[in-house]
Amino acid sequence: MNLVENFPALVVIVPLISAVLIPPAGRISKAFAWYIAVTASALSFAISGFLLNSVLKTGRISYWFGNWEPPWGIEYAVDYLNGFVLVVVSFIAFVVSVYAKKSVEDEIPENKITFFYSAYMLLVTGLLGIIITADIFNLYVFIEISSLSGYTLIASGRRKAALVASYNYLILGTVAATFILLGIGHLYMVTGTLNMADLAERLPQLYHSKVVLTAFAFFTVGLSLKLALFPLHIWMPNAYTYAPSAVSAILAATGTKVGAYALLRIMFTVFKLDFDIHVVPFTKIMLVLSSVAIIMGSVLAVAQTNIKRMLAYSSVGQIGYIVLGASLAGETAMAGSLLHILNHALMKGTLFLAVGAMVYRTGIEDISELRGMGRKMPLTMAAFTIGAFSMIGVPLTVGFVSKWYIALGALETGMWYFVPVILISSLLTAVYFWRIIENIYFKSAEHAGQVFEAPAGMLVPTLLMAGLCIFFGTAASLPVSVAQKAAKMLLAGVM
């Protein structure tokens, strides 16, 4: 085997090895820890891009560990769906790692910085592992790796409130992981296999088994908790608010998107669409929950005065869009749902990076104290405004593209009554973002004093993300084509 043939394993192994190398390297110099994290993230992104390109040219990639043929051995598989998500997550991980240097030095105690980068790379390992594995127990293992490192990262800052937020997340995350593990155990009990493709072949004749129905219920609740789908979102606001800025950015941009991927993978390829519609009313239940999430997330965001908490509640609504598009069970709506995984990662990443830059320079998180910030940090606030317009769904931004496909999909499936839900949420989004835009551009600063732009290491990644919000809003053909192929594959139950 040559190196390229091992890329499916290396995309996970590279960040895992870097997590091991960072602590001893950090003893020599803390700068080495950052360099290793950036290099490993860049390599994972490059490998992910190569894998997606290979899938688009030649089709599904199957990698067998130890050359043991599945279902007996562990398999990593790359197809249109997870190839797309791999690129999104690895790119965000790379951008945030570049951004993190100054932010981490400001918000993390010096003696914890090396271990922060080690935990960060473990988080990346877990997220990429969740995406690429084709073994359902392996999926659980990677969920635990990403969760445990996530709890650590949230608690790594100087705020005491971060410890409580991390603890609450740990409790609910453990409940979610327990439900997922019980679901896996129930499926293994009746099928004797853990390979997802093999499960998909064996389950149809067992669809009405009480054991399978119980497993499905466990998966639904456990993954919805990990996804932070309303009303199971209660761990998210405090976690995003009190975590260090770089952690808020990576979790908001990738953590819940990977949870969404896991939900779609289990519910549409392991169980298939026929089960979701005819055996249990999964799609109907999710249509209701996602609609409530879209509206309530926006309403709760309107009520917030802390900018990071506002962005956290807005994520609750945006997760609703992903679930709504998938639950409509049409190709166009499903493509919109998958597009929103990319688009929300870009726009929420932009917003949290911009807020982190502002916190670095001013320490301000209260919306009322942002007056005149547009004149003090013009580039950072321009990036924030682009992210805000994307969240609202203004044409020529990424948010408009995915909302358009979901709305069009609702019309195509005859469920036109979900279009007003999207419109109402967009109006509410405009309301809570306008408060900030009005403060930063149209009101005078309350406090005198010179405020400079964030360092280039923070500003450039923020502007890059903002630029991509415009680029993929105007040149959306590439992500749309991949999302459409992935949507067809999901709805056909192919893996």
Q: How far apart are CA 401 and CA 343, in angstroms?
A: 8
SS3 assignment, position 7: helix
For the chain, percent of residues with pLDDT exceeding 70: 98
Residue 482 domain-assigned (yes or no): yes
* Structural domains of the chain, count: 1
pLDDT at res. 494? 64
CA angle 127, 128, 129 (to 5 degrees): 90
442 has pLDDT over 60: yes
pLDDT tier for residue 446 given thresholds of 50, 70 and 90: low
| Amino acid making up residue 69 | E
Residue 338 domain-assigned (yes or no): yes
Residue 264 domain-assigned (yes or no): no
Report which of 232, 303, 266, 299 is spatially closest to residue 81, judged by C-alpha positions: 266
370 has pLDDT over 90: no
Query: What phi and psi, each to the nearest 5 degrees, are found at residue 160?
Result: -70, -30
Residue 357 domain-assigned (yes or no): yes
Mean pLDDT of 145-149: 91
Q: How far apart are CA 162 and CA 238, in angstroms?
A: 8
Mean pLDDT of 187-193: 88
The answer to whether the CB of 341 falls within 8 A of the CB of 480 is no
Q: What is the CA radius of gyration of the chain?
A: 21
Residue 306 domain-assigned (yes or no): yes
Residue 462 domain-assigned (yes or no): yes
Q: What is the pLDDT of residues 373-390, one digit of tens each?
A: 878 888 888 999 999 999
For residue 111, what are the contacts with CB-CB under 8 A and spacing of at least 6? none
For residue 256, what are the contacts with CB-CB under 8 A and spacing of at least 6? 226, 227, 228, 236, 315, 319
pLDDT at res. 493? 62
In the DSSP assignment, the letter for residue 10 is H
Q: What is the pLDDT of residues 149-177, one digit of tens each?
A: 989 899 887 888 888 888 888 999 899 99
pLDDT at res. 445? 64
Q: How far apart are CA 194 and CA 270, in angstroms?
A: 11
The average confidence (pLDDT) of the chain is 87
Residue 197 domain-assigned (yes or no): no
Residue 183 domain-assigned (yes or no): no
Domain that holds residue 473: 299-495
Q: How far apart are CA 28 and CA 387, in angstroms?
A: 39
